[in-house]
Chain A
Amino acid sequence: MAKQLRELNFEFKAETPKDFPAGFLHYGVVGSGDMEVIIEKKAMSGAVKFKVVTPVTGFDEVWRRVLERFVNETGISNASLEINDCNATPVVVSLRLRQALAEIG
């Protein structure tokens, strides 16, 4: 049996939270080495929830750190983020998440 796609879940709270201003946002293309994200406003008493769907194994801790830093740097809160990943490196993940947020601005 071939390996299955994996789902990782994380939850963070920003140090200085800012509410996610839009209701729904989609950004990115699941190309090789790339990812897409859906960001949705969700009342979660300041928290942010991530669901990452990825074929990659062995980098769960790297994911956690990349996402946690994104939350702290942007202050994003009360939002749910769903990521479809296709072997994106940490730099691509950070870049796409920040570019997604910039789409609203």
Chain B
Amino acid sequence: MSEWKQLISEWIAEYSSLQENEIKSFAAEHEHNHEIATALFNLFYCEEETEVNSHSKNPPENSEEMLDQVCTQLFSFYRSKEVELQRFTLQFVPTLIYNYLSSVARGNLKSCRCIETLLIGLYNFEVVDENGKPKVVSFRLPSLAQPSIYHEPLSLGPQFLTENALRRWEECNTKLVSWGPLSQVEVINAQNRLKVMSALYFIYNRQLSLLPKLALRHFCIAASRIVTQGFHKKIGGNKSTPRIPVSPNFLLEMIEGAYFAMFNEFYTLALQAVKDIDKRAQYELFPEVMLVTSAVINSLKNNSSGQPCDGPMGISVALSPATTTVTMSKSMITNASFRTKKLPGKMYIHILIFFTCNLPGFSLSYSVFL
């Protein structure tokens, strides 16, 4: 236990003694320094455990002090221009968020002031760009009506040239889907807390593929803890822990990261996190979150999609089934070979069904009177 504390103290001392010109090399070797990262994760978890037993006789004074120093240092990492150092800080964000939200739910704000300050700092840093203007992440919504490098509208059939598709094409360049602009905050209160946290998750998610793998593990653990805290009564404990409030967007960002972790070495933990989120969404009745969690869970059952066990990133060779032989496909009706047409009529609705078969020059047409 004291071993990692030692490590952290050294780490704090080392950074404070750095010269301006040494920071670059310090940053370069820092990014994959698992030892110190593990030690810091330990510190954050230990912090949380001492809170649970807050009635214990000797409050760990030095640990709190250390947390304060660590937060300060992590923030100065973030403000440095070194991306490696920024990323180093970023990997702790989910754990810090959990730590913070858990403390707030317990009404223990005092113990997490330094974390709160760090999170506000990160948030304010990230919602503006270099020029201090509010940052916006946006993209165009593609429309099938517009040809793309991957398709031609006509070959997909007329059913996709819907009104919506055409409208989306028209608005493609003007109406962007976007995140932000978000305003900077001075304090976190009940009203903006989850907005700030969702934004931090969003920022974290944008860097997922660059973060050390270890961070993903802690992401999953933190996610599970956030959504399940206060749901399982501890045996013997008479007072249950308050639950952590959540919002749909907050959970959606969480699923995004969990999905990524699922296919990057942490299948079991990430799946557990998604299931926990699913349960919580059901409890809170967030239909949009339930939609996404059940989509993820279903895609893991569905053989058509790439499974985590299927090899790297769940991608495997999926051969088209041999069952669709040519003779069969001739008589099989698919969406593409099926057309309905309504003709105006006073007494009858004429429905013409054309079965166009795959062979050119060989087509039958039936007209059915209903």
Physical interaction between A and B: no
B-side interface residues toward A, CB under 8 Å? Answer: none
A-side interface residues toward B, CB under 8 Å? Answer: none
